[in-house]
Structures are given as structure tokens and as C-alpha cells.
Structure 1
Amino acid sequence: MGMKRKEYEAALEPLTLELVSMARWAKLTGARIVVLFEGRDTAGKGGAIGAVRHALNPRQCRTVALPRPTEAETSQWYFQRYVAHLPAAGEIVLFDRSWYNRAGVEKVMGYASEAEVAAFLKAAPKFEKLLVEDGILLFKYWLAADQSEQEARLRERLEDPLKRWKLSPVDLAARHQYDAYTKAREAMLKATHTRHAPWTLVDFNDQRRGRLTLIRDLLSRVPDTHEAPEAIDFPDLGRAPVKESYGMLKPIKDFEV
């Protein structure tokens, strides 16, 4: 049985406070943080990213979810378009899928040749070593979900008009490639699970529990980030607050049920 919402929200609240403290630490120290969220379709990457960033300043913490490469981008060095989104000092970047597209969906769906995939698996550890040696804190997460869960979530997207936009032709085609994705993942892990940039697999069959597990792990692997909020002088106005004044236009009223 999945974790209940109230239990989840109660557990998430103190972790969110720690994430805010981590962001404050990053800003004060100039740390650069990159978190990769990888996994099968419907694994829960979007929800996990939302749980990490929902209380953080969007100017400091941003999500990168790149579309298919353009014709010009396909002629570039493979990592080039990802490099443009790496963080500056004090920033946190969350990749909703990353350069590992080449080892996953591109390989399984035939968008990349075997030679291109092999070249990527050889280059990725070297690329990540450069990032880490330059001081970037790099965290790589694979969100794991059973095929029965994937099927249930795809059907939910199909039946819910608010989630239908999430159901792409690639998602539908991937339903029949579960084993191929498993094989591709294992090859990816074997080639790119390194001392300087290890992978962490998280069970996301229960998405709420998975989010909490991922956030706890992330916080445990960042240096001691407890930073007290900066003191802000907030003196009394010295007078009674006034009501808003309007010119020619009037505000609309609240929606009435």
C-alpha cells in the first residue's frame, strides 16, 4: 500500500526546511549543484523534481528538461547543449533527463547508432570527471519502477484529461521495450557508475516514499549545509495600514461557489 498523503506531507516538511538551508548554503559558499533524474517513463521524475524545488527560489534552483535536439544541435559535440545549462556559483540545476538520453531512449528507440552509444558510454565518465574536478557537486539518480506500476501510470495518463499531455507516442512505444530498457540501463550503469560520479538507484514503486528517500539521500551527501536565515530588520510601519486604492480599473472579485 502506498504512503498516505498526510504521512507524506508530515515527513516532507522537515526535509523541505533542510533543502532551503542547503540552497542558502550554496548561495553563501558559491557551491554549484547538479542533480540528474533518470528513469523509465512514468517513474516519477517530475514529481521528485517538484518535491525538491517547490520551496526554493526559482532564480537559484532551475529545472532543465531539453526537447529533442535541433538539426544544428545534432551536428555539435554531444554534450555541448547540456554544458550551456550547467550552474553558476550558488545555483542548483535539476536535469529532468540528461545526457543519459543517449544510453536510454536514444539507444532503445533507435535514435542513436550502436557506435554513437558506445562512444557516449566511453566519454560520459570522462566528461563527468571534468565537472567534478572543477568543483561541481554531481548527483545521479535512477528512479526504478516495476512494469506493473508503469502500466498503471500510463493508463492513468490515458484516462485523466489533465494528464493526457504526458502520454507521448514514445511512451506508448516504450511499453513494449521494458526488457530492452533494462538491458540498456545495466550497460549504462556498468560503464558510468564511477567513484567520482556514482549512480544511486531509488525504488519509486511508491512515488511518495521514493521522493522522501531521494531527498534524504541528497541531503546526506551534501556537506553540512545548516545555515541560519539572515536576520532582517522589519520595523513597525508607525501607522495603521491603508487599503489599496484604484484608478480607472477595478479588480475582479473572488470566485464565488
Structure 2
Amino acid sequence: MAKKGKSYRRTMEALQIELAGLNQWLKRSGHRMVVIFEGRDTAGKGGTIKAITEAMDTRGYRIASLPKPSETESTQWYFQRYVAHLPSAGELVLFDRSWYNRAVVEPAMGFCTKAQYKTFMAEAPVFERLLADDGIILLKYWLAVDQDEQEKRFAERATNPLKRWKLSPNDLASRGKYTEIGHLRDVMIERTHRPHAPWFVVDFNDQKRGRINLIRHMLEQVPRHDETIPEPKLPKLKGKPKTEHVTRKALWVPDTFGDGNSG
């Protein structure tokens, strides 16, 4: 297990260097990129997004994880609130769930009408065609996880105080809709898979393996991701290094970590 963990960390570190290069390429070229992460609850969307962005310049990407629509948003064109989160030149936007809520989550949970669902399925490919025609690189991923594995993750979240916040009432209600959600997913893919906006499915029964496979694939879809940041030459300091003396008007936070050695 330790060997596997080291292999994962080495592989992820190499990929994160490439992701930093992708970040640089987007900024230099002005390209815009959108990556959509869809999948069942507990599939691993959040952890994958965290791994992708961990070594990136925070000014070069945004994460869009939209809450339930407000009363006002509910009266707007369905795609309207998502349009506001699309990237500007040089930006990467990662959608932790997206407009495809209306294709799977909303019909499964009874949050939209049949007419709204039907309209969405007709409009989504047209909307995405407009994005592609405007030059946005659009990638769509479904993170697949078997029900047995999903149940293990639900149980682990329920017993872990640091993860209980991840379990919403909707998450718990979805447990009884595994088959229905699978059917809705298949219909979604069949009706919205296009050459300009294809769907890619990634096996996430093993989350670490899934992250590696997804990130590798994502990098392969982009023309360039080998941008490197030149190693800067640090000028020599003049004199001896200084100790930071802060005005006494500031209040120091007490060191409560044992002997103060955070290493």
C-alpha cells in the first residue's frame, strides 16, 4: 500500500507540473476552457477538481459549484446563470456539476417538469455548439462508480465528522434511485454527445486511479500543455537576513502547537 501511495504521488506530481503548463498555455494563448464533472454522489468530483487545481495559479482558474437556483434564477432562461460563469480569455473553469443537473438530478428528484426536461435535452446540444463555435474548449466527464462502492463511501462519510457535511438530504434520497439515475445518464449521453462536445466516462471505483486517468485524458485533449515556467535567478541579499519586527500595536497569535515545531 505504501508503494502504491508513493507511485500515486509521483504520478500526480508529474501531472500537476503539466497542469501548471496548461495554465500557462491558456494565459499566453488566450484560449478558454470548460471542464464539466458529472457523476453520482460520492463519485469523487470534488477531490479530482482539488487535485487538478492544487498546483495551478489561482488567478488562472475558477471552480463553479452552483447552489440551488434562487427564486429569481428560477424564472430565467435555464442556461442563464451558467453563462455568467463561463471563462474569459486565458481562463479554465471547472464545473462541479453543471447545467446537466436538469438531465439527471432534477428529473430523478422531481425538481423539474417533463416539459422542462424535454426542452433542456433539445437545447443543450445547441447551447454547446454555440460555445464551441466561439472557441471554448469544452470537455464533459461522467465519473462512474458501482453501487456497492458508493454505499461504502456513504457509510464512511456518515461516520466521519470531517465529511458529514458532504451528505445532503438529496444525497441520501438519491440512494434509492441508483437504477433510475443510470437510465437518465444514458439518455443524457445518447442525446447530447456531439463531436464538438463529447462525453467521456471514467471508472472511479478506485478514486486515485480515476483521477490519474481523467487528468491524463484531459491533458491529451488540449493542443499544448508543455508550457514551462523558467527557473528564476534569485539575486543575492545585501547584508544579513533580517528578523521580522512587527509594530507592537499588532497582536501576535500565541503558539499553541506543542513545542512550536510544525514540521
Deviations 1:191-218 (A, max 9, x none): 1011110000000000000000000000
State the partner residue of 1:15. Answer: 15
- Give the drift of 1:235: 1.4
State the partner residue of 1:181. Answer: 181
Q: TM-score, normalised by structure 1?
A: 0.96
Cα separation, partners in 2 of 1:230 and 1:28, compared to 1, 3 Å:
farther
Question: Which whole-Å CA distance do the structure 1 matches of 2:211 and 2:120 have between them?
Answer: 29
Question: Which whole-Å CA distance do the structure 2 matches of 1:190 and 1:203 have between them?
Answer: 18
- Give the drift of 1:230: 4.5
Cα separation, partners in 2 of 1:147 and 1:250, compared to 1, 3 Å:
same
Secondary structure, counterpart of 2:63 in structure 1: strand
Secondary structure, counterpart of 2:202 in structure 1: strand
Question: Which whole-Å CA distance do the structure 2 matches of 1:254 and 1:128 have between them?
Answer: 53
State the partner residue of 2:141. Answer: 141
Matches within 5 A, 1:232-251: 232-248=232-248, 249=250, 251=252
**Does the alignment pair 1:69 with 2:69?**
yes
Cα separation, partners in 2 of 1:157 and 1:231, compared to 1, 3 Å:
closer
Question: Which whole-Å CA distance do the structure 1 matches of 2:246 and 2:69 have between them?
Answer: 48
Question: Which whole-Å CA distance do the structure 1 matches of 2:24 and 2:52 have between them?
Answer: 14
Secondary structure, counterpart of 1:241 in structure 2: coil
State the partner residue of 2:195. Answer: 195
State the partner residue of 1:78. Answer: 78
- Give the drift of 1:254: 5.6
Question: Which whole-Å CA distance do the structure 2 matches of 1:41 and 1:115 have between them?
Answer: 26
Question: Which whole-Å CA distance do the structure 1 matches of 2:256 and 2:216 have between them?
Answer: 39
Query: Which 4+ runs in 1 deviate beyond 3 A?
Result: 230-233
Deviations 1:137-188 (A, max 9, x none): 1000000000001101001111001100001111111000000001100110
Identity of aligned residues (%): 52
Question: Which whole-Å CA distance do the structure 2 matches of 1:240 and 1:44 have between them?
Answer: 49
Question: Which whole-Å CA distance do the structure 2 matches of 1:16 and 1:55 have between them?
Answer: 6
Q: Which AA in structure 2 matches 1:256?
A: G
1:255 aligns with one of 248, 252, 257: 257
Gaps of 5+ in 1: none
State the partner residue of 1:90. Answer: 90
- Give the drift of 1:103: 0.4
The number of residue pairs the alignment matches comes to 257
Q: Which AA in structure 1 matches 2:238?
A: G
Q: TM-score, normalised by structure 2?
A: 0.94
- Give the drift of 1:240: 1.3
- Give the drift of 1:80: 0.2
Secondary structure, counterpart of 2:72 in structure 1: helix
Q: Which AA in structure 2 matches 1:168?
A: S
Matches within 5 A, 1:35-184: 35-184=35-184
Gaps of 5+ in 2: none
* Higher mean displacement: 240-249 or 145-154: 240-249
The root-mean-square deviation of aligned C-alpha atoms, in Å, is 1.6
